[in-house]
Amino acid sequence: MHKTKNFLPTFLILLAITILLIILSKSGILNGPTSFLEKGTVPIQRVAFGILTNHDESSGIEKLRVENSKLISELVKQKELVRENQALRDQFQTSNPALRKLIPSKVIGQKIDKIIIDKGFDDGVEKGDSVVYKDNLVGKISKSSAHISIVDLPMNKNIFFTAKILDSSTQGVVKGNENGIILDNVVLSEKIKKGEIVVTKGNIDEDDKGFPPNLVVGKVVSVNKKASSLFQTAEIKSLVDFSKIETVFVIIR
């Protein structure tokens, strides 16, 4: 009966403590203690993820996948160089993009449409930063704490950005959904072929957040074109196997 009487005050005390914690945490007062605690939890998380996933990058398929990804990256670079040369010839000068820095990060957690990396705002990673693997788009930072960050993968429903087909420069909007990555809003008059490479068009905002141009989003695997619709869509498959990725790079200014 003693417990019966005491439960409600316990509930209210815990509720009050938690609300206070949330307020302090939101205001940034708890950044120091959180950072200290994360220093302890990140190694545990890293070890646990390593044990639970047991990645094997030495397999033949994985090697071929990496090689394929590398070749496509080189192809994108080459085509972009050709275009740049043309533009240089026309204009005799080119814009000077802001200097960017890549921060290597280990993947320490993996969900259906997001990954957790071991770098946070103490390392300069902020919400909205792009995450890449070689020249492939991995995603965008959606949340960041002192030592870890959450990366929304392209199949996450919160992700959408403008993209183009590498060869034809056909433009569309890439959206994530439960079925994967979709290139939407492509006008019917444009032709999309299976196997074509989709790259980011570039949508850096005034805060220098967003995706830089020419990151490989993936390969077109199917096209959905209906005469009655305003736009056509295409399903895209990323060249990166997100379930096997171990290291990614965050682009910061």
Partner 1 sequence: MFYIFFAILSIAILLEGTLTSLPLVFICLLCYLIVMKKPFVFYTAFFGGMVLDLFVARTLGSTFIYFLLFFYLVLLYRKKYEIDSYPFVLVTTFVGSYLYGLIYKSSNGLALAGISSAIAVLLFAILKLKFGVQNSRSNFNT
> Which residues form the interface with partner 1 (CB under 8 A)?
3-4, 6-8, 10-11, 14-15, 17-19, 21-22, 24-26, 30, 34, 37-38, 41, 44-45, 48-49, 52-53, 108-113, 116, 120, 143-145, 148-150, 156-158, 178
Angstrom CA distances, 151 to 117, 132, 134, 137, stand at 7, 10, 16, 11
CA atoms of 8 and 12, how far apart (whole Å): 6
| Residue 51 tokens, joined | 């044990």
For the CB of residue 238, give the shortest distance to partner 1 in the complex, in Å.
16
Residue from 104, 116, 112 nearest 143 by CA: 116
Minimum distance of partner 1 from residue 128's CB (angstroms):
15
DSSP letters for 209-237: -SPPTT-EEEEEEEEE--TTSSEEEEEEE
Q: Provide the residue count of the chain.
A: 253
Q: Between 118 and 196, name the residue whose CB sits nearer to partner 1.
A: 118
**Identity of the residue, 150 or 183, whose beta carbon is nearer to partner 1 in the bound complex:** 150
Site of tokens 């090689």? 67
Minimum CB separation of residue 106 from partner 1 in Å reads 12
Is the CB of 85 or the CB of 158 nearer to partner 1? Answer: 158
Closest CB to partner 1 among residues 143, 191: 143
CB of 134 to partner 1, least distance (A): 24
Nearer CB in complex with partner 1: 28/60: 28
**Min separation Cβ 101 and partner 1, Å:** 22
How far apart CA 143 and CA 4 sit, in angstroms, is 41
